[in-house]
Structure 1
Amino acid sequence: MGVVDDYLAEVQDPGDRQALARVYQLAQEIVPDAEQGTGYRMPALTHDGKVLISAIRAARHIGIYPFSAAAIAAVAPRVEVIEGAESSAGAIRFAPGASIPDELIRDLVSFRLAEIDGR
């Protein structure tokens, strides 16, 4: 078990837990060597010592944090058309129970991976 696994085990709402676990699962499909760790005191996956992505259940939303304003900007137009979703420079937020599109997470993680790898 790691930081992410421990965090997911503590998420009480099954739907929220499943949504968060799916974000981490998709990230690990793209970056199989990603390791569990933390970023800004949040559970996260890391790659080459840099934070790749974090997903948490906050008081009023599910937050996705790629630790990159450029990564968020790359997908922001697609986020804004999703009901119950919004983006800012640091996060993408989904209302609890809102659908988090797999392809959006894949693109976000792929963009962040390219940043980390210097591509």
Structure 2
Amino acid sequence: MEDTDLINAYISEFPPKVQEMLQTLRKVIKESAPEAKEKISYQMPTFVLHGNLVHFAAYKNHIGFYPAPSGIEAFKQELSIYKGAKGSIQFPIDKPLPYELISRIVKFRASENIGKAKNKSEKRP
């Protein structure tokens, strides 16, 4: 099964309202990092660009978004209204997702990963 099909299958397991949120989240991530590839990692939809970019997953009461600790730290102020941990944010399912903020986080992470990859390649003889 292709990675895109695996993500479609993952999303299809949820109620219609949650499916819609996940599809929109996926679209926002794709638009924010068009060169990123999709796969399933840690049993979650994942976008990869020079390493893991972001993951997302649905749970009973929230959508988990995992932009790595740097993605949380860079937007700490705006994310402070959500539950979260070092590398994760919980967006309540009963409220609209902050797609504009998510887009900015994804762009930040893409830029960060591209920068790291560039630095690595410059260090090679």
Output the TM-score relative to the length of structure 1. 0.83
Does the CA contact (< 8 Å) of 2:56 and 2:65 recur in 1? yes
Alignment of 1:7-86 (within 5 A): 7-11=10-14, 13-48=15-50, 50-66=51-67, 68-81=68-81, 85-86=82-83
Q: CA deviation at 1:60?
A: 3.2
Confirm or deny: 8 A CA contact 1:62 1:94 kept in the other structure: yes
Gaps of 5+ in 1: none
Query: Which ranges in structure 2 are unaligned for 5 or more consecutive residues?
Result: 117-125
Higher-Rg structure is 2
Is 1:2 matched up with 2:5? yes
Q: Distance in 1 between matches of 2:23 and 2:65?
A: 12
**Runs of 4+ with >4 A deviation:** none
Report if the CA contact (8 A) 1:2-1:36 is conserved: no
CA drift of 1:71 comes to 0.6
Tell me the distance in 2 between the aligned counterparts of 1:54 and 1:3: 14
Give the alignment's Cα RMSD to 1 decimal. Answer: 1.7
Equivalences for residues 86-101 of structure 1 within 5 A: 86-101=83-98
Which of the pair is proportionally richer in helix?
A: 2
Q: Percent identity?
A: 27
**Number of residue-to-residue matches in the alignment:** 113
Distance 2:31 2:58 in 1: 22
Instruction: Normalising by structure 2, report the TM-score.
Output: 0.79
